[in-house]
Chain A
Amino acid sequence: MLEVLAQAVINGLLIGGVYALVSIGVTLIFGVVKIVNFAQGEFVMIGMYISFFLASSLGVDPVLSLLISMPTLFAIGVLLQHFLIRRVLALGDMPQIFLTFALSLLLMNVALLLFTANYRTVQTAYSEMSFHIGPLYFAVAKLIAFVIAMLLSAILYIFLHGTDLGKAMRAAAQNREVAMLMGINPDRVFSVAVGVALALAGAAGSLLMPFYPAYPLVGQVFVLMAFVAVVLGTLGNITGALIASLMMGVAESLGVQFVGADSGLIVVFVMLLLTLALRPNGLFGGWAR
């Protein structure tokens, strides 16, 4: 029984790492730019396709291909901020919601058109491998994804707390007007924030590719969990999103194990409801609010 429990926790943590990459991106954009990016899952999808095509045509290992998917998505993020998001920032909530929601629909349908609805998988040497410690096993592909996800989160944390640009981003998140008065250029800061958020989605895509099939609607699988994690971990709080994602991965896994495989998400949503009822600002009332 104990090993079943331990295994469930391991499984949950490993997939939680992937949820974290998606949710940190969402929370970063919300924290800094104050806009909810409903299209975040679609950028994961784009990351997956980048890795898929690099793997299938050039034989690049999907994990290595994040060196390409991340910069590509960073660039897309900067362009997205500059040409689209910037224009709706002054217009209030509705146009912002419509913009990213429409972008999500657009990207899904363009992907359907370009790539068809077929599932694409990459077979790597480690796709189906796992290593065992006693009775427990760790799926290699998921472990790699988890470790790199944690590394990227740590790098982001250091960037936000240790560099001028990072500090400027946090300042802009705390109070846009005051930050501008202090000479921070919000356009630049916002572009970097959106770029970084999309780069994380791209990384998530590349890291998923060895064990998850890519298809045009794949983003929807992960974005729901990401949004719950963002709310649970307090909107705009990056550490909160990270911890909440891991918690949700574990809650889902335990839910599947001990409640029922069709109710794994029930545990997650009960957690969300309780949190909203008891701590409406999320578990980690952090710097963004």
Chain B
Amino acid sequence: MKKSKRELGAKRLGAKRLGRRDFLVKSGALAAGAVAAFNIRTAAAADTVNIGGLYPVTGSFAQIGQGCVNAAKLAVQMVNDAGGIKSLGGAKLNLIVSDVQSDPTVTRTETDRLISGYKPAAIHGAFASALTLIASEVAERAKVPLLTGSSSDQLNKDRHFTFTPFSRASQFALAQLQMSKLVSDQPKVAVIFENTAFGTSTSNGLREQAPAQGVEIVLFEPYSAGLSDASPLMNKVKASGANMLFPVSYLNDLILIIRAIKQVDLKIAINGGSGGFVIPDFYRNVGNTAEGLLGVAHWNHDINDNAQRVNAAYQKQFGEFLFEYAGGLVAQTFMIADALERAASTEPQKVRDALAALDVSEGYAAMCPGGKVKFGPDGKNIYAHPVGVQWQHGDLATVFPKEDARAQLIKA
């Protein structure tokens, strides 16, 4: 119906302009053909798949959230440049970014709004575990799959639509404890952690696993995130007699902590875990003092060739290396693309089932430490493990475990 109307329109237009009967017939037919062809092409091009990205672009996590959004856009562009989702006629991914504002209440409403307003096939987000836990609850209820690099072990409890391709908080803890033996034969560790979902789950993991690893925890101290002064806290660390410090903190507190350690003149090895410790901004703010500091990450830009390739593209565009969380979500975008490809549908339930059946060991979707992704029934990637990293010459180098190490550990 639509087509014949347009044909008529084209003919009428031709008639008015030219007024010659034979020409009219030919050009009319031509025009109709062109319109029809054009229609098909636009229909295909307009066929896009919405995927949601929940990131804190304002508020206290904003600078990390913005990096995540940049990486998410880059990833979508990569998928689309490679031809989109072929089983859906080359449909392009359309990233809908929603700002969760580093605020739990906003996260709830934004996740709801994203799902009801844009009907995304899948969602990824939301950086901070505290926010991701909420986003995941909403996504579970709406039966939309959510992929996340957030490490809270709670994300793997009683959830069916939540997938975690990267290592869990408990695994981070284990890696951190094992790494402490690279520094000292008898590690005495002080753990200071912010009292958030991220802080408590990470630190509890450390405390539970320390005895089995032969690591003594001499101080276990929660603090309220958003310090005005870190020196009282460092005073306490000094008094504990620890030779290794595990701060579980985001960037602003870390800057204060690292500076206070200098001021106290505390000779102590530091493993800052992940979070704010493994982003370019940390080095920019702390400078040379960061050299030699250790951390753990669920992703690093040197883990394999694909990661290095994406990192180079990101670095070219944004002038800094691709950090853990952002790099991980590039891989997640490709996992979603892979699932869409196999599901041949944008139906969230079908995408979820395809994700549950995901089993990749090559390409950008497998761009993880260990190089393989397959989800267990709890949504955990059964192959996931973290890597140990060290700040070396302003870059973050993978130094642990041996099979993933890309650089030698520098000992202070």
Which residues of A come within 8 Å of B, CB atoms?
4, 7-8, 11-12, 14-15, 19, 109, 112, 116-121, 123, 127-130, 132, 137, 139, 142, 211-213, 215, 217, 220-222, 225, 252-253, 256-257, 260-262, 264-265
Contacts and interface: CB of A to CB of B under 8 A. Distances in A.
B69 to A, nearest CB: 12
B177 interface: no
B394 interface: no
Contact of A117 (B63, B231, B233): B63
A128 B263 contact: yes
B223 A137 contact: no
26 contacts: A4-B235, A4-B239, A7-B235, A8-B235, A14-B229, A19-B228, A117-B58, A117-B59, A118-B63, A119-B252, A119-B281, A120-B285, A123-B287, A128-B262, A128-B289, A129-B262, A137-B263, A139-B231, A139-B263, A211-B256, A217-B59, A222-B228, A256-B235, A260-B222, A261-B192, A262-B195
Contacts of B262: 128-130
Contact residues of B: prevailing secondary structure? helix
A90 B239 CA distance: 56
Contacts of B227: 221
A11 B264 CA distance: 11
Given A128-B262, A256-B223, 6 more contacts: A112-B58, A213-B285, A217-B59, A221-B226, A261-B233, A262-B222
Interface residues of B, number: 37
Nearest to B288: A123
Contacts of B229: 11, 14-15, 142, 252-253
Nearest to A211: B259
Contacts of B265: 130, 132, 137
A116 B239 CA distance: 38
Contacts of B239: 4
B4 interface: no
A256 B62 CA distance: 28
A89 to B, nearest CB: 32
Interface string B280-292: 0100011101000
A113 to B, nearest CB: 10
A265 B222 CA distance: 13
Nearest to A132: B265
Nearest to A261: B223
